[in-house]
Structure 1
């Protein structure tokens, strides 16, 4: 579980945040100005990386939140097995299986290299090189 703690005001669109225990990519951030007795608040809208669910977060801008440490890696396709694919990491030579994303099923063939990400103990194929 690799994550770090940052303040809400340091978050940017396109970066990642942990919402409801899931790593999510930030789609929009709105901040409201402080009131007479309150602090400025931020509303963060994000979409889960692994489950594509929309999530939102409303907190004061000086509050803390968790940010996942995303590990982007390259792997080579060893074998196609129905809806899954067997991959070998280029650096560590570790082999593992991942489901094939619907948008990439036509592009993935044996021997091709793919980019995948690893966050919070989960992995997902992102694109074909």
Structure 2
């Protein structure tokens, strides 16, 4: 799911879609309008699911898509290898997520964890 907003409404720490990938905004710099042009914004982002750096330059009056990113809680039902089976605490549905190497010691059976979901993709969000 995504919504459309103007570039001038974006803020650091929010989300935006670049190359069909939901990204987190790291920095925004805006230039002043010139004699024959409009003001431009340079937006530096990092992908939520692939951690790739991207940047876009766009007029501030253009519209851009923003993903609807939800942070949910789930209980770890079981772990087999590097895949955890989770039960969502809101609607009690079950799902499976791959456990990244840096979270191997923090994802334990019976514990409650949080995860992000956006545009049909999911990942652990342990802070």
Work out whether 1:31 is the aligned partner of 2:33: no
1:4 maps to which residue? 3
Runs of 5+ consecutive residues of structure 1 not aligned to the other structure: none
Work out whether 1:85 is the aligned partner of 2:111: no
Q: 2 CA distance for matches of 1:60 and 1:91?
A: 40
2:61 maps to which residue? 62
Q: 1 CA distance for matches of 2:6 and 2:57?
A: 13
Q: Which portions of structure 1, spanning 4 or more consecutive aligned residues, are displaced by more than 4 angstroms? A: none
Counterpart secondary structure, 2:102:
helix
Runs of 5+ consecutive residues of structure 2 not aligned to the other structure: none
2:93 maps to which residue? 94
1:101 CA displacement? 2.1
Report matched runs for 1:46-61 at 5 Å: 46-61=45-60
Q: What is the RMSD of the two structures over their aligned residues, measured on CA atoms?
A: 0.9
TM-score normalized by the length of structure 2: 0.97
TM-score normalized by the length of structure 1: 0.95
1:57 CA displacement? 1.0
